[in-house]
Chain A
Amino acid sequence: MNREKVAEYIGYIDDRYLEEVFQHKKQRRRIIMNKKKPVTIIAAAALAMLLTVSVAAATTFTGLVSKEEILDTAMTYVVMHDEDGGKLAEYFYEGLSYGESSEETEVSLGLSRLTPVYNVKFKVGGYEYTVTVDAKTDVVLDCKKEVDPSWDEHLKNADYSEPHQPTQEDIENWDNSRNVINSTQASLIAQDYTGLSRSGLYQCGEVLGTCSTKTIYGVDPQRFEFTTNHGGYRYTVVVNAETAEVMSCDIVSYGSDKGHTHEQDTEHIGSYDATIIAAEYLRTVGFEDCASSDICELIPFNRRTDETIKKIAGMTVSGFDMSYLRGDFYTLYYFHDNNKIAEILFMDAYTGVIISTRTYTVEPSVLLPD
């Protein structure tokens, strides 16, 4: 008997038995989530206890938040509040942790007005950030940003070589007047098509020379080609410059890139799935109207660009993927109450289990225009 026939026969399984599987999987997910939570709590408690013991001599420094969490808080703050901080997020697509994604990260404990504070310093995207975080409450007290003087040198040494670099003759013969979209708009269309973050490709090739999520180069007058690595896959998307249509999209698994091993990344759940799971989770905890398209990163500049793209290309920008892949975790954002409050979810990138959540009050300065 041929396999098609076998498959067809099994397709007759009654709906009630399929529903039985769905229900079972749902229950199982709940069990796993409930199991994970206590582990996280115990781990956090153990860490807090360890910190408490180690600094017991100085009572002022008891009950401090861990350095890892402080680093996370500081960098999340920069990503959310600073337009240039969005570049930090681009590194997450390489599967790097916060610490690896920025340069010269330093976390030091100090006192400010008799309050223990962490000073977090790191460099990213040509800027040096110094974020002061209350060591007990995990609240950001101050954030300073300065131009990183070493960045010029960094750019000078960057590898800008591209596999399809157009020749001078190509460039001279280009007739860009026929194009209805530019490379930035094309990159956003490509990202929408692949479901990757809007910050993933944007200007990466021009500004961050060594970032592997780069490219943005026209290979001929009629089309733009983009490549990016994400979740263990390399996406190559070609967008028609005249019609704003995606001409092709190749997704291939890769083993390593620029010295980083990504073998484990091939087991990551996709970021699209991550947003679906996040939305499902949020609906179960009271955010009944939450849809996966609401899960986002809120970089205002890119949002506005999306609107432009909508008008120009006449396409629907679904926004279904706005998550950060950071090492083994996704960081997902859901804004509600007129974008004044954000729920931040940290998800295991392998299992889709929500590890922890955090509620964040958004500063008025980063609210989006309607």
Chain B
Amino acid sequence: MVNNFLSDPGRETGRGTGPFKGPSTGSAQADPFAEQLKLGPLEFLQAAEASPSLRAMRYTFESEQVLYLDLALASYYKFATQRAPANERLNELLQDIIDDAPHNSLVSAEANCLLAVYQADEGDLSGSVQRYQRAIDVYAAVGRADALAVCFARHALTLYEHGYHREADRSLLEAQQFAAASAKPLYVQYCQLVGSLGAIYQGRAEAAAKSARALSASVCLGPGDRALYQAMQFRIAVERDDLAATESAWQALLQLQAKGIPVGAIATRTRVALLLKQGQFTDATDVVLHFLHGSPLASAVSKHQLMLDLIKHPSSAVMADSVKALFEELLKVNERAIRQDPCLDVGIALTARADHHDGSLSHA
């Protein structure tokens, strides 16, 4: 296997089907990113996912346009590939956007929302909640129901993963109401997806399956979210012992992987559990290592759970001492990173109201 760390995933060929089909030569192509963000955060993410050469574009854009481009880049790495070149410092990049963008602007709000995801995934839940709250405040102030739906949904997903299920349910409910108010199917589907994933995090496979049924195969989600959807189908099939569905869901994930979209933590954890059940410990180890290496932007919690699954398995006795020592060391470091203050208030709330919006926020 030749590692592809040197290639920029954003430069893959064959992805030029979106609104931006090649490197920009100036400001003319820069504006669409701002326009996409005006349409909504999920439209913006899909535009980023469809652009073939985000990094190359950065060198040709003017400073105020770079804000949007950097935001697109950070979204793309987080949600589409879970991988960025080692010299990218994405937290700093997002902080720069927040510092440079006008206060209460959409780009600042979305950068806060995205930074919240980054911070939570690195274990800083307290900082993350504050970021989510800032994003919520701005989106509420400008009356964006669709953006509020995404923000609450991402917050819910964060909390599901960290085990705050009750608070997560509350945020998801907010998200669903805002999505309905926005009247955009894409946003409604995104909330359904988060609901299904939440059920999986809570170990309620039947509820996840029921929720997933509401999401048809013709979902209009972007590639990153579609991979989450497929992962969920895979997990449900495994839990039901449905061999045919398991295989077809896994093949669908592999097809996405071939296009540069990682299979993600949920699918990887499911796959590892399957391999361990079949007594294939070495293969399971390889899958875990491939995930850890291939998806450095995946959440610390998911990485931790994966490593625990492996190390705590009785077969881990066959592991080479050197490898086991390194795993244990990494687990220890991870444990410190994701340990939360038990008194942490993880909730966010709508505290500001738009005075000029069209009534779409009135559900609360």
Q: Do chains A and B interact in one complex?
A: no
Query: A residues bordering B, Cβ < 8 Å?
Result: none
